[in-house]
Amino acid sequence: MTALPSAAFPDAFDVARVRRDFPILDQAIHGRPLVYLDNAATAQKPRAVLEAMDHYYRESNANVHRGVHTLSERATALYEGGRDRARAFLNARAREEIIFVRGTTEAINLVAQSYARPRLKPGDEILITHLEHHSNTVPWQMVCEQTGARLKVVPITPDGALDLEAFERLLGPRTRIFAVAHVSNALGTVNPIAELTARARAAGAMVLIDGAQGVPHCAVDVQALDCDFYAFSAHKLYGPTGIGVLYGRREVLEAMPPWQGGGDMIRTVRFEGSTWNDLPYKFEAGTPAIAEAVGLGAALDYVDRIGLDAIARHEAALLSYALERLREIDGLRFIGSAPQRASVVSFVVEGVHPHDLGTILDHAGVAIRAGHHCAMPVMDFYGVPATARASLACYNTTADIDALVAALQGARDLFGGRG
């Protein structure tokens, strides 16, 4: 997880074998072998996930919970099996604490609307950080407008780490919620979430951790962390789009009203009023993403088989290598260089707009992301409209980094050398 300059590739990690699990990687783009370095946006899916979902649709597809027939019972068992896998993955106490949602964005909106909105009053404060993805900013802005609460923001240091002294100053008796990214998607900064959570809870605040970029690179134990909420999306963890997890502490979820109304989330419905189902179904209105829950379970099994620690060590070594090699590019400036980093390198190249870089690299078969990465305040902090971002996953290799560097050299040449 941490990009130590001396990080070595783990001996036992067979990246060639890992790559064979991802059929999409075996193709050419514009006549060049695909080099996929846009993993922070979404990761590719291993055969195990593709096959689990395919198998589900071929053999077991039915709606869940309401059916008495065999296929419905099978679909229900598979769907709930995905929840059991997610519980184990996060080490939550109970399966009732695992709410299936569409993704991290929906998880945070659920907490904002169901936990925060009914409770917050003018004078209350929500504390976030300058590193947040828009999905951990805008839902809180909306709830501030709805309740009269105020949004406070922990600043960052020039290298893109959180300013911990400012955090201490901003955390106060009015702080009702502290919402923080585990890992920044724009810079790769790994936040010290255990310490932050302990401090915020001691100050009486509820803690939500946006784990969208955390779970692909770091093992998470929500009991050890003692956070109130932890959210992640399956698609950044080798699983399908359309499903994610909101972990919530049971007693907190029990005290929250449902967010959306509809089938499955009710116990009784009369025109005079309705009563709610138990956890976790109270928060899962309507037909859920069943095949996706199966895919998520398969993705978690896959990650377990390879081992998150081994993945993290491989990625840390690769990040060290990437940082070293990228220094060879004239005019390249890193955006963000926090001491604790995971799998993301953001940069600009003098004289070449990041979007042009993205297009030129695509012609060399190299997929990176160019833009504000849904973190406009981070771009403002560094005074750039956008960055180019390469982000790593378990299947990336030093050859991928070499291809990135060669393509960047090509872009520099195209745009007239030293700009």
Catalytically annotated residues: 374
Location of structure tokens 């959570």 = 197
What CA–CA distance (Å, rounded) separates 164 from 184? 16
Q: Under a CB-based contact definition with an 8 Å cutoff, are residues 364 and 403 in contact?
A: yes
391 Cβ contact partners less than 8 Å away, ≥ 6 residues apart: 37, 38, 39, 40, 41, 188, 343, 344, 345, 368, 369
What CA–CA distance (Å, rounded) separates 81 from 65? 13
**287 backbone φψ class: left, alpha, beta (φ>0; ψ -120 to 50):** beta
One of 105, 109, 189, 397 touching ligand PLP (CB under 6 A): 105
212 vs 253, beta carbon nearer ligand PLP? 212
Helix or strand holding residue 71 (H, E): helix 70-90
Site for ligand PLP in 109-168 (CB under 6 A): 133, 135-136
One of 109, 114, 147, 185 touching ligand PLP (CB under 6 A): 185
What CA–CA distance (Å, rounded) separates 236 from 242? 11
213 is a site residue for ligand PLP (CB under 6 A): yes
Strands 175-181 and 229-233: unpaired
One of 97, 210, 228, 284 touching ligand PLP (CB under 6 A): 210
Q: Give the tokens for residue 276.
A: 């709610």
39 is a site residue for ligand PLP (CB under 6 A): no
Binding region for ligand PLP (CB under 6 A) out of 23-31, 196-204, 208-216, 254-262: 208-216
Q: Under a CB-based contact definition with an 8 Å cutoff, are residues 117 and 328 in contact?
A: no
- Residues forming beta bridges with residue 334, ordered by sequence position: 347
38 is a site residue for ligand PLP (CB under 6 A): no
378 is a site residue for ligand PLP (CB under 6 A): no
Q: Under a CB-based contact definition with an 8 Å cutoff, are residues 39 and 236 in contact?
A: yes
Rounded to the nearest 10 degrees, what angle do helices 308-326 and 290-306 cross at?
80
Binding region for ligand PLP (CB under 6 A) out of 58-66, 151-159, 210-218, 405-413: 210-218
Site for ligand PLP in 230-289 (CB under 6 A): 233
Helix or strand holding residue 128 (H, E): strand 125-129
38 vs 228, beta carbon nearer ligand PLP? 38
197 is a site residue for ligand PLP (CB under 6 A): no
What CA–CA distance (Å, rounded) separates 100 from 14? 33
18 is a site residue for ligand PLP (CB under 6 A): no
Q: Give the tokens for residue 377.
A: 């305040």
One of 103, 240, 258, 297 touching ligand PLP (CB under 6 A): 103
Q: Give the tokens for residue 394.
A: 């378990």
What CA–CA distance (Å, rounded) separates 335 from 171? 27
60 is a site residue for ligand PLP (CB under 6 A): no
Strands 125-129 and 150-154: parallel
341 is a site residue for ligand PLP (CB under 6 A): no
What CA–CA distance (Å, rounded) separates 175 from 203? 8
Strands 28-29 and 229-233: unpaired
76 vs 129, beta carbon nearer ligand PLP? 129
Q: Give the tokens for residue 301.
A: 């099994």
346 is a site residue for ligand PLP (CB under 6 A): no
How many H helices and E strands in the chain?
A: 15, 17
Q: Which residues of the shown chain bind ligand PLP in the complex (CB under 6 A)?
A: 103-105, 133, 135-136, 181, 185, 210, 212-213, 233
